[in-house]
């Protein structure tokens, strides 16, 4: 179990160095994406002026406050609450995010499936788990909303955050086929009969 500190953009080698069970703390740039952002990019042919190559993408749609633009709040948005949403809904976008945009790390909660795991393995990436529903802590790791694109999709815009000590995040899926979620799911399903027996139900 290693502890990594990463300041994206990172290389494929850096992504492949991450193993399930390791922890990661992110510094610097973190992008925020959501369902509508990825539908716009991959289903509707829209493009972004951001270069996501080598970057970490957080599954989020933040609560923000409109403020006068300033060096502290260059976009005119101050973060009110930045948390993490359920990643599994966005399963089909992991591969295009990596293959077309060069993303390396997905930061989310609840885990992703076999298509994402295959993309991490083939293209060199990893899934970093936030503890979902702990946004009061997470917001404190955000220094500023540096930039925003596709803001007509607000709050599901493409956000560029500047973060400090973002984590520790758990490496929950890696580029070597490891997935905590798959392991926990397999174990839980192996206990189904036992749970049904405790309920007096004959397993079917």
Partner 1 sequence: MRIDARTIEEAAKELYIRALKILPDDVKRGFDALAARESSATAKDVLGTMITNIAVAERSDSLLCQDTGIPIYNVTIGRGVDFRAEDGTALKEAIRRGCERATREHPLRSSIVHPLTRRNEQTSCGIGVPVVHLDVAQDVDGLRIEMIPKGSGSENNSWLRMALPAEGVDAIKAFVVDCVLDAGGRTCPPTIVGVGVGGTADLCVHLAKRAATRALGTHCADAHGAKLEDELTQAVNMLGIGPQGLGGDATAFAVHVELAATHITMNPVAVNMQCHSARRASATITAGGVSYGF
Phi, psi of 155 (to 5 degrees): -85, 5
Q: What is the distance between the alpha carbons of residues 103 and 116, in angstroms, rounded to a whole number? A: 12
Q: Specify the residue, 176 or 192, whose C-beta has the smaller distance to partner 1.
A: 192
The window from 58-66, 93-101, 117-125, 141-149 that contacts partner 1 (CB under 8 A) reads: 58-66
Closest CA to 159 of 98, 68, 84, 67: 84
Q: Does 102 bind partner 1 (CB under 8 A)?
A: no
Positive or negative, the Cα torsion across 166, 170, 172, 178? positive
The window from 3-11, 54-62, 92-100, 114-122 that contacts partner 1 (CB under 8 A) reads: 54-62
Phi, psi of 99 (to 5 degrees): -70, -40
The window from 10-18, 44-52, 59-67, 68-76 that contacts partner 1 (CB under 8 A) reads: 59-67
Q: What is the distance between the alpha carbons of residues 192 and 137, in angstroms, rounded to a whole number? A: 35
Q: Residues binding partner 1: what is the number (CB under 8 A)?
A: 55
Burial classification of residue 98, based on how many CB atoms lie within 10 Å of its CB (0-12 exposed, 13-18 middle, 19 or more buried): buried
Binding residue for partner 1 (CB under 8 A) from 139, 143, 147, 162?
A: 139
Q: Does 3 bind partner 1 (CB under 8 A)?
A: no
- Length of the chain in terms of residues written: 204
Q: Does 202 bind partner 1 (CB under 8 A)?
A: yes
Q: Does 48 bind partner 1 (CB under 8 A)?
A: no
Binding site for partner 1 (CB under 8 A): 36, 60-66, 80-86, 88-89, 109-111, 129, 131-140, 154-156, 170, 172, 180-181, 183-185, 187-189, 191-192, 194-196, 198-202, 204
């Amino acid at each position: 179990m290693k502890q990594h500190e990463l300041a994206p953009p990172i290389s494929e080698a850096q992504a492949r160095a991450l193993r399930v069970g390791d922890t990661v703390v992110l510094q610097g740039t973190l992008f925020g994406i959501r369902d509508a952002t990825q539908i716009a990019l991959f289903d509707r042919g829209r493009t972004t002026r951001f270069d996501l190559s080598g970057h970490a993408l957080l599954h989020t749609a933040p609560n923000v406050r409109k403020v006068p633009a300033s060096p502290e709040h260059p976009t005119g948005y101050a973060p009110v609450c930045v948390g993490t949403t359920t990643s599994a809904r966005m399963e089909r976008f992991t591969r295009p995010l990596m293959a077309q945009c060069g993303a390396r790390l997905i930061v989310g909660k609840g885990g992703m499936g076999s298509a994402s795991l295959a993309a991490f393995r083939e293209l060199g990436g990893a899934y970093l788990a936030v503890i979902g529903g702990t946004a009061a802590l997470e917001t404190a790791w955000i220094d500023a909303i540096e930039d925003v694109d596709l803001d007509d999709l607000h709050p599901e815009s493409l956000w560029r955050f500047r973060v400090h000590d973002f984590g520790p995040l758990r490496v929950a899926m890696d580029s070597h086929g490891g997935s905590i979620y798959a392991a926990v799911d397999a174990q839980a399903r192996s206990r189904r009969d036992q749970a049904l027996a405790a309920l007096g139900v004959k397993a079917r």
